Chain A
Amino acid sequence: MITDRKSATTWQKKYDLQAPKVGDTAPDFSLCDANGRNSVRLSDYRQKMPVALIFGSFT
């Protein structure tokens, strides 16, 4: 659990190493919306549209 700046930095350094960089293939995923009824799969947009990913939370 991230409880302070130190644990936040540790988490970010750990996972940033494996995060895709420019030129890398983006990891595919499938997620549902807040209602749990509508899903999206990143690869469904290949050869169709570019995709902007926006990660965030409420706090």
Chain B
Amino acid sequence: MRGSVSLTDIYAKYHEQVKFIPIYIREAHPVDGWWFGGNLLTKKLMKTFAPKVAMDVHDPQTMDERRQVAGTCEASLSYGVRTYVDVMDDAVNKAYAGWPTRLYLIDTDGVVVYAAGLGPYDFHPSKLEKAIENYL
């Protein structure tokens, strides 16, 4: 999570005015994919800069597995926000190019008013907060 503002802070501040929909998508760095846990340097960097990120998760192969990991993730991150789970064909992930992480703000007409760039480099909750402030 980049910057001094966290999604938890933004949710706490705006959840009565904005609907927050966290969407669990295909794993970014699962053990059976582009795994960071096998490299000491990346493992240390992740532990330092993203301590809540799991390093021992395999990419779910069924919807039940995906829901299970999403639930564990939701509990671990303790956002207090219900997490929704993308389907196995990654339809929503693909429609929004959400992998590995991405932020959007949609207005009440269903139009995008903030679209972060590709994650993880343009994952900035502070920019989402600014967009919310500007919109409200």
Q: Is the CB of A58 within 8 A of B108?
A: no
**Which of A7, A42, A50 has the most C-beta atoms of chain B within 10 angstroms of its own C-beta?**
A50
Q: State the interface size on chain A (CB cutoff 8 A).
A: 49
Q: Which residue of B lies closest to A24 (CB)?
A: B112
Neighbour of A16 across the interface among B27, B74, B97, CB < 8 A:
B97
Whether a CB of chain A sits under 8 angstroms from the CB of B34 is: yes
Contact B34 A52 (CB under 8 A): no
Question: How far does the alpha carbon of A58 sit from the alpha carbon of B95 in the complex, in Å?
Answer: 20
* Complex interface: chain A residues within 8 A of B112 (CB): 20-26
Contact B96 A33 (CB under 8 A): no
Q: Tell me, in angstroms, the Cα distance from A31 to B33 when the chains sit together.
A: 25
B107 shortest CB reach to chain A, Å: 5
Residue of A26, A48, A54, A57 touching B100 (CB-CB under 8 A): A57
Are B97 and A50 in contact (CB-based, < 8 A)? no
How many residues of B are in contact with the other chain, CB < 8 A?
Answer: 71
- In the complex the two chains form, is B115's CB within 8 Å of A22's CB? yes
Given contacts A26-B112, A42-B110, A51-B105, contact A59 B82 (CB under 8 A): no
Chain B contacts for A59, CB-based, 8 A: 27-30, 36, 53-55, 57
Contact digits for B79-115, partner A, Cβ 8 Å, 1 yes 0 no: 0001111110001111111111111111111111111
**Inter-chain contact A19/B96, CB cutoff 8 Å:** yes
Interface residues of B (CB under 8 A from A): 7, 10, 14, 17-30, 33-34, 36, 53-55, 57, 59, 67-74, 76, 82-87, 91-115, 118-119, 128, 132, 135-136
Q: Which 6 A-B pairs have the closest CB atoms?
A: A55-B98, A34-B71, A19-B97, A58-B73, A15-B97, A31-B84
